[in-house]
A and B are shown apart, each in its own frame.
Chain A
Amino acid sequence: MGENLVSFLEKTPDVSHWLVLSSLLFSIGLYGLLTRRNAVGILMSVELLLNSGALNFILFNRFISPGNIDGQVMSIFVIAIAAAEVVVGMAIFVALFQQRKTVDVTQMNMMKG
């Protein structure tokens, strides 16, 4: 296991290294989204998730179909969409903060079934 890891790290970077990076990003984002209590922290985790997807598009573009630029175009759109998502999210959180004086997600239990 340890030797495999060392030889993996000593190789020149290819698609598998980048895939490991993007899945690490995705896992960190998912972990943050599930464990952060502050809603702003959750938005940051969402950014990580979206960026890991965008990174995937770029690296597949580079290694799978280097002839065209579809993946790169997609990653630019993903960045724009992530920005839109965060803007809307932050606006909602600010409005919520004015009402409740907190954006702690564990306090969000006013509505009950």
Chain B
Amino acid sequence: MFTLILPELIVILTAFLILGVDLFVSEKNRVVLAPLTLVGLGAATAAIFFQMPEAGALFGGRFAVDSVTWWFKFLFILSTGITIALSLDMLDGRKVLENAQTPRLRFRGEYYTILLFTLSGMMFLVSARDLITLYVSLELATIPLFVLASWKRDGNAGEAGLKYVIMGALASALLLYGFSLLYGLTGQTDLHAISQGLTPSPLLWLAVALIVSGIGFKMTIVPFHFWAAEVYQGAPTPITAYLSVASKGAGLALMFQLFFRVFGGFFKDWQIAIAVFAALTMTLGNLGAIVQNNIKRFMAFSAISQAGYMIMGFLGPQKESIASMIFYMWVYVITNLAVFGVIIFHSNQTGKEEITDYRGLAQTNPLMALGMMLGLFGLAGIPPLSGFVGKFFLFSIASATGFHWLVAVAAVNSTISLYYYLRIVRQMYIEPPAAGAKALEVSPVLGFTVTTTVLASVALGVFPFFYNIVNAQTSGWMSLFVK
């Protein structure tokens, strides 16, 4: 039974270990902290695979493990590990070019610790089976992100942090008020008991509206997406990557918890609302991305539109919807991190973040440009890359449920998204490099990370075994909640 909570325990112990070691070693020896963190993450992953066929509950049913939680937790750990790999050059000051503009990130020990705390919050969030646990773990996942987003000590980071704190606190307050109404309607805090006790009433719809706005903030669903562009721009780039993948994964996990587990009985009622949100999110996200010039803002709007595709999986009570959403989340996380790897490599070396700064990258750094192109095509969903496969599954769910208009909207949006992803490819491959541009030196860790993530993103689309495993394990999950 104890092994059920082992991954979380390992992550939390690693966090405190890093904090302690950081206290006692000199600045020069703090290089050791990153490998230590990665060892901890590896151990947590091993613990997840060790528990894999086992499912069960702890603490009187307030903490539970099942087939869906394994894949979410593994995803969170993996994205944290890749984020750490992406941050290494900025934290350890392994600058290759002398004239690099980006200032070094300071306070390595605290950085890893806080990253691990938010990871543990996300892992508890997937396993929570009680309103109290759910809310506390959600805040544990969110509050450290405020700190990380304003890590750099410049005006932009502070502005990003201010906006993030205010919007995040508002979202969490709305969610809390919605939770309190759910508690008032049923007198229960256990999620299963709440779903049994709910009956349709105006108060229930108020509670759902409040909860949706709280989740919409986490998932960056239009119209709750306003914070994203500014926060993504002001945060350190590895944290931007982390926000766009892990934080969004936590939002999806929260939607799984609430929409399936609690509101599963009212599936027919919220289905149409999800369809409208999905259409709005992908359209406005795409239209926003077209006009951006800063690459991080661009990725923010791209991430918003991806959230629109992702929630299409909530439309149908198909056997495959769970597996499709988890699979698309995996594909999105790995592909997005590959793209961010190249962005971090470029901004580390040049200190520039405009899209036009990528001109001629294919001539100076052909391999990095190739990785970026494959990543962007994966996000746009060009076959045979994994983004296409993931989108295909999601579209087929919407279509099987009868939302043909949404499939048409999504297809048009995919075309729009191809246009703006191609803007960057055009800069890299068609525009000539700036006069006197030299090849940028690739640091080993970034080269390795980009290579593995790009290969993984291609492999996920070509080889079906990963989807098959997830599908086999999760196909019966949804029928527990949605009738």
Q: Which residues from chain A sit less than 8 Å from chain B, CB to CB? A: 26, 29, 33, 39, 42-43, 46, 49-50, 52-54, 56-57, 60-61, 64-65, 70-71, 73-74, 77-78, 81, 84-85, 88-89, 91-93, 95-96, 98-100, 103, 105, 108, 110-111, 113
Shortest distance between the CB of B155 and any CB in chain A (Å): 4
Contact of B162 (CB < 8 Å), options: A50, A54, A65, A108: A108
Residues of chain B in range 146-180 having any CB-CB distance to chain A below 8 Å = 146-147, 150, 153-156, 158-163, 165-166, 169-170, 172-174, 176-177, 179-180
User: Which residues of chain A are within 8 angstroms of B166 by Cβ–Cβ distance?
Assistant: 33, 39, 42-43, 46, 89, 105
7 cross-chain pairs, A with B, having the tightest CB-CB distances, nearest first? A96-B158, A65-B187, A56-B180, A49-B173, A53-B176, A60-B184, A92-B161
**Are A110 and B156 in contact, with the CB atoms below 8 A?**
yes
**Are A89 and B146 in contact, with the CB atoms below 8 A?**
yes
Please give the number of chain B residues whose Cβ is less than 8 angstroms from any Cβ of chain A in the complex.
Answer: 46
**Are B184 and A64 in contact, with the CB atoms below 8 A?**
yes
Contact of B156 (CB < 8 Å), options: A43, A74, A89, A111: A111
Contact of A110 (CB < 8 Å), options: B132, B153, B155: B155
Q: How far is the CA of A46 from the CA of B146 in the complex (A)?
A: 15
Q: Which residue of B lies closest to A23 (CB)?
A: B177
**Are B189 and A70 in contact, with the CB atoms below 8 A?**
yes
Q: How far is the CA of A81 from the CA of B173 in the complex (A)?
A: 11
Known contacts A29-B173, A53-B176, A111-B233; A88 and B187 CB within 8 A of each other: no
Known contacts A57-B183, A74-B135, A113-B294; A105 and B162 CB within 8 A of each other: yes
**Are A95 and B153 in contact, with the CB atoms below 8 A?**
yes
Shortest distance between the CB of A62 and any CB in chain B (Å): 11
Q: How far is the CA of A77 from the CA of B132 in the complex (A)?
A: 8
**Are A99 and B153 in contact, with the CB atoms below 8 A?**
yes
**Are A111 and B143 in contact, with the CB atoms below 8 A?**
no
Shortest distance between the CB of A12 and any CB in chain B (Å): 20
**B291 contacts partner chain A, Cβ-Cβ < 8 Å:** yes
Q: How far is the CA of A92 from the CA of B161 in the complex (A)?
A: 6
Known contacts A77-B135, A111-B233; A53 and B179 CB within 8 A of each other: yes
Q: How far is the CA of A3 from the CA of B263 in the complex (A)?
A: 40
**B478 contacts partner chain A, Cβ-Cβ < 8 Å:** no
Q: How far is the CA of A39 from the CA of B271 in the complex (A)?
A: 38
Q: How far is the CA of A92 from the CA of B155 in the complex (A)?
A: 11
**Are A60 and B173 in contact, with the CB atoms below 8 A?**
no
Shortest distance between the CB of A107 and any CB in chain B (Å): 9
User: Which residues of chain B are within 8 angstroms of A103 by Cβ–Cβ distance?
Assistant: 162
**B473 contacts partner chain A, Cβ-Cβ < 8 Å:** no
User: Which residues of chain A are within 8 angstroms of B173 by Cβ–Cβ distance?
Assistant: 29, 46, 49-50, 53
**Are A71 and B183 in contact, with the CB atoms below 8 A?**
yes
Shortest distance between the CB of B220 and any CB in chain A (Å): 15
**Are A85 and B172 in contact, with the CB atoms below 8 A?**
yes
Query: Can you list 17 contacts pairing A with B, beta carbon distance less than 8 Å?
Result: A26-B177, A46-B169, A46-B173, A49-B174, A50-B169, A53-B176, A56-B177, A65-B188, A77-B132, A88-B143, A89-B146, A89-B169, A95-B153, A96-B162, A108-B163, A111-B156, A111-B159
**Are B139 and A84 in contact, with the CB atoms below 8 A?**
yes
Q: How far is the CA of A110 from the CA of B155 in the complex (A)?
A: 8
**Are B132 and A73 in contact, with the CB atoms below 8 A?**
yes
Which one of B135, B161, B183 has the highest number of Cβ atoms from chain A below 10 Å of its Cβ?
A: B183
User: Which residues of chain A are within 8 angstroms of B147 by Cβ–Cβ distance?
Assistant: 88, 91-92
Shortest distance between the CB of B378 and any CB in chain A (Å): 25
**Are B165 and A49 in contact, with the CB atoms below 8 A?**
no
**Are B183 and A99 in contact, with the CB atoms below 8 A?**
no
Shortest distance between the CB of A85 and any CB in chain B (Å): 5
**B292 contacts partner chain A, Cβ-Cβ < 8 Å:** yes
**B246 contacts partner chain A, Cβ-Cβ < 8 Å:** no
**B198 contacts partner chain A, Cβ-Cβ < 8 Å:** no
User: Which residues of chain A are within 8 angstroms of B181 by Cβ–Cβ distance?
Assistant: 56
Q: How far is the CA of A35 from the CA of B132 in the complex (A)?
A: 31
Shortest distance between the CB of A58 and any CB in chain B (Å): 9
User: Which residues of chain A are within 8 angstroms of B136 by Cβ–Cβ distance?
Assistant: 77, 81
**Are A78 and B177 in contact, with the CB atoms below 8 A?**
no
Shortest distance between the CB of A24 and any CB in chain B (Å): 13
Add 19 more A-B contacts to A56-B180, A111-B233 (CB < 8 A): A26-B177, A39-B162, A46-B170, A49-B169, A53-B177, A56-B177, A56-B183, A60-B184, A60-B187, A65-B187, A74-B135, A81-B139, A85-B165, A88-B165, A92-B165, A93-B162, A96-B155, A99-B155, A113-B291
**Are A92 and B150 in contact, with the CB atoms below 8 A?**
yes
Q: Which residue of B lies closest to A97 (CB)?
A: B158
Q: Which residue of B lies closest to A86 (CB)?
A: B169
**Are A111 and B165 in contact, with the CB atoms below 8 A?**
no
**B234 contacts partner chain A, Cβ-Cβ < 8 Å:** yes
User: Which residues of chain A are within 8 angstroms of B230 by Cβ–Cβ distance?
Assistant: 111
User: Which residues of chain A are within 8 angstroms of B150 by Cβ–Cβ distance?
Assistant: 92, 95-96
